[in-house]
Chains A and B, each alone.
Chain A
Amino acid sequence: MTEPRLIRNFSIIAHIDHGKSTLADRVLELTHTVYGRDMKDQVLDTMDIERERGITIKAQAVRVMYDADDGETYQLNLIDTPGHVDFTYEVSRSLQACEGALLVVDAGQGVEAQTVANAQLAMNAHLGVIPLINKIDLPQADAERVSHEIEEALTIPGEEAILTSGKTGAGVRDALEAVVRRVPPPQGDSDAPLRALIFDSYFDPYRGVVGLIRVVDGHIAKGMKLRMMATGVTTEAEEVGVRRPANQPVEGLGVGEVGYLITGLKDPALVRVGDTVTLAKRGSEEPLPGYREVKPMVFTGMFPIDGDQYPDLREALDKLRLNDAALVFEPESSHALGFGFRVGFLGLLHLEVVKERLEREFGLDLLATAPSVEYHVRKTNGETIVVQSPQDMPDVGSIDRIEEPFLRAMILVPPDYVGAVMELAEGRRATFKDMQYLSKTTVELHYDIPLGELIMDFFDQLKSRTRGYASLDYEYIGYRESQLVKLDILLAGKPIDALSFIVHKDKAYYRGKTLSEKLREIIPRQFFEVPIQAAIGGRVIARETVRAKRKDVLAKCYGGDVSRKRKLLEKQKAGKKRMKAVGNVEVPQEAFMAILKVDE
């Protein structure tokens, strides 16, 4: 166990892609924690999907030993965090295990939305924030401008910023020196009963739930009898250790130290993130402040293309949930798509990642319906119901009013593109709040916007209309009433529940029409005509037709063509497997997502 004065706990936070994980690589190297053949780019990004996409999804804690200029060796516990807005909760959790944060800002991109949002999280948690202007090796690096932006946007004196490059390693030692000098050592009572915060957890198929903990008071050692304060479960410390970054068992962890705890408990609900670990006997009575539960914001129906895979899908979701507390799901059934699940996510990236993992790691073939938000529907009979799926929306006649979730959005953009942003926001029912110039090159705008509009391809549109310059952050602000209607899509005369969506009444006609047109392009010609209709409460507002295919025949079929032709038919049939037969219409998967693209 190390004395608290020689411990520093900090997170690395930033906007996406500003170089957090690469800086962590350099820290691991400089402290000889990982070296030689074990070193690779963004070594802390271990999931396949992280490595492929080059982004961090899950925060990673690691301990390094640093020989500082003052001649002492410090124990640094650093947490590399994700930068994407969907995973902001990972940042706030990590920050609670720390006394400081390295705020990384890309020297070319400058301050972006999650720079501001994450810096605010750190400051609100009263952490020492050390700004780094990173990637100074880039030709387009402009440290002076960025330092000015840091001052304006974050009210942190620009001269405090340290210039670094995760690529060349420049300034990394300076950053660690700043951590040692500017981040306060952890404080806690080593004589008090144990209190340790579970700030993260993961599931190990052999060891059960592994909790990542930060000891606040007292100490924890192997063999101790423990109690989880929120769940009340008592258990034993089967193994205590530190991550370097592989798990390394230790005898114990003392005040301020960060490590992992294995209890043998298999149920993630019993080792809850945010809970406080104390002693089973004569433990503490006062839990540490926990976390607000993360709540899913967007919902989608996930259906196996092959109905036989339904039990496999359930099992796969159960397994993923072990490592992803933010994932919620319940069974859903659709006339068009059969049995599946309504799954809740933190955002669209989260959705995409989960779907991809389900397909790749579990070999499932899935169809996802367009994401939707959770509506609060006040019925005329006084009842209030929660609607997560458009198909569950009650009859128009029984609805008094509908409320939908709103967000406060923050958009950072160069002044030249303010007009483009305003135009987009206006089309999405957003209300302008205020605007501030952070520097000659960056403007900060605030809007209130329905989440339902934000998930309609808003981010991609924002990026494309600002040539990629704009960045976006948002927080949930509450439910507000809106004039919403349910729009139904009928294929060949039959309503297809999985294609229904909720839309503002002023946009219903436009979206119904453009969606019908999109569907006409997406649905392949079948050997019969397929009428497409968009309707509100039985009234048809738009109509299109997929014309019948008239010719589809292999005309040449002689000796050698027979086998070839049979194989072709088999291939065609396999191709159909990627479509969903809705009634007798073959509908490609992208049709169910087409609504997201109607505002292009």
Chain B
Amino acid sequence: MSDPEGIGTLTGPSLPAHLYVHVPFCRLKCSYCDFFSVPVEDAEGVEAVLAGIEEEILEWGRARLSGILDTVYVGGGTPTIIGPGVIRILESVRTSLPARTDGEVTVEANPDSATARLVEALAAAGVTRVSLGVQSFDDEIIGLLGRLHTVEEAHVAARAVCDAGLDLAIDLMCGVPGQSLRSWHCTLEEGIETGAKHVSVYPLALEDGTPLAVAVGAGLVSSPDSDAAADMMLLAEDVLGAAGFERYEVANYAVPGHESRHNTAYWTGESYIGVGPAAHGMLDPETAGASGVRTGVGTDVARVRYSNASDIEEWLQGAGRDVETLSKAEVAREDVMLGLRLARGVGARIVAAAGLEEQLRQLEAEGLVELAGGGVKQRWRTTTRGWLLGNEVFRRVWLPDQ
């Protein structure tokens, strides 16, 4: 947990507890996707990236920082598309960096490449969790999203994950043009039936330059309706809630105890390493210095965020890394902003320390946030309205002098 009081009283460089590895390959681009990934073309291309990832992990190992990994997340892209390559990555983590024995190890998978054989091999390699990109149990919606699997394949893959004894997480998408509330309801029900203990619900966002955004721009597809998305998000909370899932973040539901520890780190100000092209990492300034991520020195730097080059060639040459620094005050606001994504919210003392009480009081008057708990346990959290209108809340927290 981040401790606002602790910022500044740094204890020397340390190994972050979380590691993200980006596998930049997909079979084909989905119509809405703007993640960094390229189609797999040849074995050499994959091999080069794998070698690069191994090297980057090894470098962290060579830094010999004190600390121990708690979570590993292999995402993408579609990691399962490189099959055994994922196991090589996990192997390289295991041999280079100290990790907890009860760590959380997640691999992202798509239904068409998560075969039973691969899933079993992953389990054997120490994976504890598979996040399956199901998106919908309606073939029409899957088609519009430009995804390459079928409802049938999603069921088969989900079964394989459960059979291998792994924690299953699924992604579902709502607010898709042409998606009815009914189709969405069925998708939720079918999702619950897969045995997943974790469900992420994403309203479709149109990203500039994606084929879907172009089609909407050209009038070929109607634009996503935000009111419909709101209805679907509310329905998701009801349906999943009835099945024992709790919404613990804007888009994430879990059966208690099955929350993603890795993702929770992103919202609670914990450091993480990002490996692979376009991967992002977040470090305290001392660790950033010790690991060579940040070479310059500046005053009032309390947090360092970096992103690797979104270009495989550039990344392989170790070039094109973007480094962003945040001041102490910025870190405090960022922590409140991210903390308000969580259903449990953020401690009132943290808000006060960030100098944001006035903003939160105003948001409270407007019905977007509320105070819960009492005494030292008092926490600010979003109301249902504030959850759906998060950007209004986040903007006023991040940029308070409006």
Interface residues of A (CB under 8 A from B): 527-528, 549-560, 562-563, 565-566, 569-570, 572-573
Q: Which residues of B contact A (CB under 8 A)?
A: 20, 175, 201-203, 205, 226-227, 229-230, 233, 250-251, 263, 266-267, 272, 274, 278-282, 305, 307, 324, 334, 337-338, 341, 366, 368, 385, 387-392, 394-395, 398-399, 402
* Contacts A551-B229, A560-B278, A562-B334 supplied; 6 other A-B pairs, CB < 8 Å: A552-B392, A559-B280, A559-B282, A562-B266, A562-B282, A562-B338
Q: How far is the CB of B395 from chain A (nearest CB, A)?
A: 5
Q: In the bound complex, do residue B368 and residue A527 qualify as a contact, i.e. CB atoms below 8 Å apart?
A: yes
User: Whole-angstrom distance between the alpha carbons of A429 and B274 in the complex?
Assistant: 70
List the 9 closest pairs (A to B, CB-CB), nearest first: A553-B390, A560-B280, A551-B230, A550-B230, A555-B251, A559-B280, A569-B395, A551-B226, A551-B388
The interface centre, meaning the residue of A549, A558, A562, A570 with most chain B CB atoms within 10 A of its CB, is A558
**Which residue in chain A gives the minimum CB-CB distance to B36?**
A560
Are A569 and B279 touching (Cβ within 8 A)? no
Q: Which of B20, B281, B394 has the most CB of A within 10 A?
A: B394
Known: A527-B389, A527-B392, A559-B272. A566 touches B334 (CB 8 A): yes
Residues of B within 8 Å of A554, CB to CB, are 205, 390-391, 394
Q: How far is the CB of A527 from chain B (nearest CB, A)?
A: 5
CB distance from A524 to the nearest CB of B (A): 12
Give chain B residues whose Cβ lies under 8 Å from the Cβ of A528: 366
A552, B389: Cβ atoms under 8 Å? yes
Chain A residues whose C-beta falls within 8 Å of the C-beta of B337 in the assembled complex: 566
Known: A558-B263, A560-B307. A565 touches B202 (CB 8 A): no
Whole-angstrom distance from the CB of A24 to the nearest CB of chain B?
Answer: 45
A527 contacts across to B, CB distance below 8 A? 366, 368, 385, 389, 392
Which among A549, A556, A558, A570 is the interface contact of B226 at CB below 8 angstroms?
A549
The answer to whether B201 touches A555, judged by C-beta atoms less than 8 angstroms apart, is yes
Interface residue from B280, B334, B390, B399 paired with A552 (Cβ < 8 Å): B390
Check B202 against A549 for contact (C-beta < 8 Å): no
Q: Which residues of A contact B390 (CB under 8 A)?
A: 552-554
Contact of B250 among A553, A559, A560, A573 (CB under 8 A): A553
* Bound CA span A572–B341, Å: 19
Give the residue name and chain of the B residue nearest to A557 (CB): B341
Give the docked Cα–Cα distance between A528 and B399 (Å): 20
Q: Let me know if A572 and B395 touch, CB within 8 A.
A: yes
Beta-carbon contact of B226 and A552 below 8 Å: yes
Considering the chains assembled together, what is the distance between the CA atoms of A552 and B205 in angstroms? 10
B20 touches A559 (CB 8 A): yes
Smallest CB gap from B387: residue in A:
A553
A565 to B207 CA separation, bound complex (whole angstroms)? 13
Q: Distance in Å from the Cβ of B143 to the closest Cβ of chain A? A: 22
- The answer to whether B279 touches A560, judged by C-beta atoms less than 8 angstroms apart, is yes
What CA separation (Å) do A572 and B402 show in the bound complex? Answer: 12
Q: Judging by beta carbons under 8 Å apart, are B389 and A549 in contact? A: yes
Cα–Cα distance between A553 and B307 once the two chains are bound (Å)? 23
Q: How far is the CA of A559 from the CA of B201 in the complex (A)?
A: 18
A584 to chain B, nearest CB (A): 9
CB closest residue in chain A, given B18: A559
**Given known contacts A549-B226, A562-B266, A555 and B391 CB-to-CB distance under 8 angstroms:** no
Check B334–A569 contact: CB distance below 8 A.
no
Cβ–Cβ contact B391 & A559, under 8 A:
no
Residue contact A551 to B338, C-beta cutoff 8 Å: no
Which label, helix, strand, loop or mixed, suits the secondary structure of the A interface? loop
**Bound form: Cα–Cα A552–B20 in Å:** 28
Considering only CB atoms, which chain A residue lies closest to B278 in the complex? A560
Among A550, A556, A558, A562, contact of B305 (Cβ-Cβ < 8 Å): A562
User: How long is the Cα–Cα vector from A398 to B281 in the complex, in angstroms?
Assistant: 70
A549 cross-chain contacts in B, Cβ below 8 A: 226, 389
The answer to whether A551 and B227 have CB atoms under 8 Å apart is yes
With A560-B307, A570-B399 given, is the CB distance from A553 to B274 under 8 Å?
Answer: no
| Nearest CB on A from B351, distance (A) | 18
Report the minimal beta-carbon distance from A575 to chain B, rounded to whole angstroms.
11
**Interface contact B305-A552, CB-CB below 8 Å:** no
Q: Is the CB of B205 within 8 A of A557?
A: no
Specify which of A551, A559, A560 is in contact with B233 (CB 8 Å cutoff): A551
Complex contacts, A565 vs chain B, CB 8 Å: 394
Q: Which of A553, A559, A566, A570 contacts B281 (CB 8 A)?
A: A559
Q: Identify the closest chain B residue to A552 (Cβ).
A: B391
Are B395's CB and A556's CB within 8 A?
no
Q: For residue B222, give the distance in angstroms from its CB to the closest CB of chain A.
A: 16
- Which residue of A527, A549, A550, A553 has the most chain B CB atoms within 10 A of its CB atom? A553
Q: Please indicate the chain B residues that have their CB under 8 angstroms from the CB of A566 in the complex.
A: 334, 337, 398
- Report how far A560 CA is from B37 CA in the complex, Å: 14
A228, B402: Cα distance in complex, Å:
54
Residues of the A chain whose Cβ atoms lie less than 8 Å from the Cβ of B281: 559
- 8 chain-A/chain-B pairs, Cβ below 8 angstroms: A551-B175, A552-B226, A552-B389, A553-B387, A557-B338, A562-B334, A562-B338, A566-B334
What residues on B are CB-neighbors of A572 within 8 Å? 391, 395
A569 to B205, CA, bound (A): 15
Closest residue of chain B to A560 (Cβ to Cβ) is: B280
CA gap between A552 and B337 in the complex, in Å: 15
Q: Which residue of A lies closest to B402 (CB)?
A: A573
A residues in contact with B324, CB < 8 Å: 563
Which residues of B sit under 8 angstroms from A560, Cβ to Cβ?
274, 278-280, 307
Contacts of B341 in A (CB 8 A): 557
Give complex CA distance A528, B226 in Å.
15
CB distance from A593 to the nearest CB of B (A): 25
A572, closest chain B residue (CB):
B395
The smallest C-beta distance from B39 to any residue of chain A, in angstroms, reads 21
Contact B389 A555 (CB under 8 A): no
Residues of chain B with a CB closer than 8 A to A556's CB: 202, 205, 251
| Distance to closest chain A CB from B22 (angstroms) | 9
Q: Is the CB of B391 within 8 A of A553?
A: yes
Q: Contacts of A552 on B, CB cut-off 8 Å?
A: 226, 388-392
- Does A555 lie within 8 Å of B399, measured CB to CB? no
Once the chains bind, are B389 and A553 in contact (CB under 8 Å)?
A: yes
- CB pair B250 A557 closer than 8 Å: yes
The answer to whether A555 touches B402 (Cβ under 8 A) is no
A527 to B365, CA, bound (A): 13
> Whose C-beta in chain B lies nearest to the C-beta of A565?
B394
A573 with B395: CB separation less than 8 A: yes
Q: How far is the CA of A563 from the CA of B281 in the complex (A)?
A: 11
Residues of chain B with a CB closer than 8 A to A559's CB: 20, 266, 272, 274, 279-282
A308 to chain B, nearest CB (A): 13
Q: Would you give the shortest CB distance from A529 to chain B, in whole angstroms?
A: 12
How far, in whole Å, are A566 and B334 apart by their CA atoms in the complex?
9
Contact B282 A553 (CB under 8 A): no
Residues of B within 8 A of A570 (CB): 398-399
Contact A569 B394 (CB under 8 A): yes
**Do the beta carbons of B399 and A569 come within 8 Å of each other?**
yes
- Residue of chain A at shortest CB distance from B252: A555
Residues of A near B282 (CB, < 8 A) are 559, 562
Q: Which of B266, B274, B368 contacts A557 (CB 8 A)?
A: B266
Cα separation A554 to B388 with both chains bound (whole Å)? 9
The 8 Å CB contact of B203, one of A551, A562, A569, A573, is A551
* B contact residues around A569 at 8 Å (CB): 391, 394-395, 398-399
Roughly how many angstroms separate A549 CA and B203 CA in the complex, as a whole number?
Answer: 15
Give bound CA distance, A449 to B52, whole Å.
Answer: 77
Interchain CA distance A555-B203 in the complex, whole Å: 7
Output the nearest chain A residue to B337 by Cβ-Cβ distance.
A566
For B202, give its contact among A555, A562, A563 (CB under 8 Å): A555
Question: Within the complex, what minimum Cβ distance (angstroms) separates A316 from chain B?
Answer: 26
The answer for the CA separation of A527 and B389 in the assembled complex, in Å, is 7
Bound CA span A551–B279, Å: 29
Distance between A571 CB and nearest chain B CB, rounded to angstroms = 10
Check B388–A550 contact: CB distance below 8 A.
yes
Bound form: Cα–Cα A527–B230 in Å: 13
Closest-CB distance, B227 to chain A (whole angstroms): 5
Expressed in whole angstroms, the minimum distance between the Cβ of A566 and any Cβ of chain B is 6
Bound form: Cα–Cα A499–B155 in Å: 58
- Bound-state CA distance A556–B172 (Å) is 12
- Chain B nearest CB: distance from A307 CB in Å? 14
